């Protein structure tokens, strides 16, 4: 005859259920890092390359980084899309983070413990210390009619304390990246300072301006210029 087994009381069973639920929640929290939020102030002056027209619903605002070892410049603009790692995207309608009627974008994503973003834009992983950028575009390719702005806050201002660096996935605190703290317009205009690209200067103060991407012919010139520079540098090194 098998030995008798004690049957847990309802109170004990309920306690075990609550403990299991607590452990499950704890595991979910440990699997997630901090929330990364990028945004601007409603009513900011966000302009297209003509210096007059406000950014409309065609534009998207992506927060992300570039592959390790790649630094975006005007001379390697043709390689940006291949090296871009999107973390989160604000776009129209306003429920998705972009309200063009008041020139306001606001979006957050969670940096998971695995290094992935919870937004599911890609399978790219992110690490602490990566420099973040805000990429504003209406067409994510070098094509006629395309306009971009790529801005960040890096070491160019001499203040490392406010650089747009990503936290470690193990950090659970929220991090904010407001447009007001961006200082370097790699492409486009930012806080009345113009970076790379073709544009018409606005007649009044502005917060951000997209610039036209190079035409296909201009892209070839950029590529040739890069090749010539590399050849000259190789010759100099080999002397």
What is the reported pLDDT for 216? 61
DSSP string, 78-110: GGHHHHEEEEEEEBSSGGGBEEGGGTEEEEEEE
Q: Give residue 221's region: left, alpha or beta (phi > 0; psi -120 to 50).
A: alpha
The residues spanned by each domain of the chain are 32-238
Q: Is the pLDDT of residue 223 over 80?
A: no
Relative to beta strand 175-178, strand 147-152 is unpaired
* pLDDT one-digit tens code per residue, 161-181: 999 999 999 998 899 999 999
What is the reported pLDDT for 218? 54
Kindly state the percentage of the chain with pLDDT values over 90.
Answer: 72
* pLDDT one-digit tens code per residue, 101-151: 999 999 999 999 999 999 999 999 999 999 999 999 999 999 999 999 999
Q: Taking residues 63-76, what's their average pLDDT? A: 97
Task: Output the pTM of the full model.
Answer: 0.79
Q: Is the pLDDT of residue 29 over 70?
A: no
- In whole angstroms, how far apart are CA 105 and each of 58, 99, 207? 13, 6, 13
């Amino acid at each position: 005859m098998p030995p008798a087994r004690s049957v847990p009381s309802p109170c004990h069973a309920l306690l075990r259920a609550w403990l299991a639920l607590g452990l499950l929640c704890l595991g979910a929290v440990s699997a997630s890092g901090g929330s990364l939020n990028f945004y601007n102030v409603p009513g900011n002056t966000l302009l297209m390359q003509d210096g007059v027209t406000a950014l409309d619903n065609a534009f998207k605002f992506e927060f992300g980084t570039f592959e390790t070892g790649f630094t975006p410049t005007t001379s390697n603009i043709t390689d940006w899309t291949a090296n871009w790692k999107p973390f989160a995207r604000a776009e129209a309608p306003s429920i998705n983070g972009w309200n063009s009627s008041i020139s306001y974008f606001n979006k957050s994503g969670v940096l998971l413990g695995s290094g992935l973003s919870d937004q599911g834009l890609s399978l790219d992983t992110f690490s602490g210390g990566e420099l973040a950028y805000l990429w504003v575009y209406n067409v994510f390719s070098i094509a006629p009619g395309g306009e971009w702005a790529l801005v960040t806050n890096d070491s160019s201002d001499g203040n490392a304390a406010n650089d747009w660096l990503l936290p470690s996935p193990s950090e659970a605190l929220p991090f904010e990246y407001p447009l007001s703290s961006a200082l370097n317009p790699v492409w486009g205009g930012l806080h009345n300072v113009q970076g790379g690209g073709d544009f018409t200067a606005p007649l009044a103060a502005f917060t951000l301006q997209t610039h036209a991407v190079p035409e296909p012919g201009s892209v070839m010139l950029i590529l040739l210029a890069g090749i010539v520079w590399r050849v000259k540098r190789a010759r100099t090194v080999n002397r």
